[in-house]
Amino acid sequence: MQRLKGLIAEGALPPGAKLVEKELCDSFGVSRTPLREAIRALAAEGVVVVTPNRGAAVATVTEDQILESFLVMGALEGLAGELAAPRITPVQLDALRQAHAAMLDHRRAGDLDGYYAQNRAIHDAIFDAAGNSTLSETRQIIHRRIVNLRFIARIGDDEWATAIAEHEEMLLALEARDGPALGAVLRRHLESKRRQVARWLARQG
């Protein structure tokens, strides 16, 4: 299931793409039974839609749903930041510093996949430090709806600079154990992303 989910998350299987069982079985080197189990599991998560007599396809979402999702994600990230900053352990903070440095290295090398992997690791670490399982579970539901947009909606140099500056602010707030400051920058960070995606969607229309 993780390999199929990875193709969807990376945009290799975009929203609306039909899941052709034979092609996927050949690609993964598996029989139809485990593939169908994976499709059923992803359908339960809302990542895939199965239509009787028509097969399965990657779920699609409307522009309004996407932008609404970013608003909700911003609220969740802000709350996670408020909880995480005073609770983060020295070990967690050191791992987050390393992920931040690695993210910048990938950016300088032009490795977008590496950049986004470390970016996700940073946000995951903040939710882990928040220590609230309900918050993390809710985030995962929303995240599945918007994850592949980060690969589609490429950003310009000015937006890169803003994103990286906001990540620098996150690190400073964590080091200061300042929950309100971290919550505020995370909300602003997600609003920046929401505006970026909205501009991309407008250009597609």
Count of structural domains within the chain = 2
Is the confidence at residue 53, as pLDDT, over 70?
Answer: yes
95-125 tens-digit pLDDT: 999 999 999 999 999 888 788 889 999 999 9
Domain of residue 133: give its range.
Answer: 63-204
Mean pLDDT of 7-15: 73
CATH of the domain at 37: 1.10.10.10
Looking at the structure, tell me whether residues 142 and 103 fall in a common domain: yes
Q: How far is residue 49 from each of residues 25, 38, 57, measured CA to CA in Å? A: 18, 12, 5
Is the confidence at residue 131, as pLDDT, over 50?
Answer: yes
CA 122 from centre of chain:
11
Q: How far apart are CA 88 and CA 113, in angstroms?
A: 27
What's the pLDDT at 16? 81
Write out the two tokens for 49.
Answer: 């839609």
What mean pLDDT value characterizes the chain?
A: 86
Pair 199, 102: CB distance under 8 Å: no
Looking at the structure, tell me whether residues 44 and 70 fall in a common domain: no
Is the confidence at residue 205, as pLDDT, over 80?
Answer: no
Looking at the structure, tell me whether residues 54 and 71 fall in a common domain: no
Is the confidence at residue 151, as pLDDT, over 50?
Answer: no
154-186 tens-digit pLDDT: 566 677 888 899 999 999 999 999 999 999 999
pTM as predicted: 0.75
CATH of the domain at 140: 1.20.120.530
Confidence tier at 195 by pLDDT (50, 70, 90): confident
Last-in-domain residue among 24, 39, 58: 58
Question: Within 10 Å of residue 125's Cβ, how many Cβ atoms?
Answer: 19
Confidence tier at 15 by pLDDT (50, 70, 90): confident
Pair 199, 149: CB distance under 8 Å: no
Looking at the structure, tell me whether residues 189 and 139 fall in a common domain: yes
Looking at the structure, tell me whether residues 105 and 167 fall in a common domain: yes
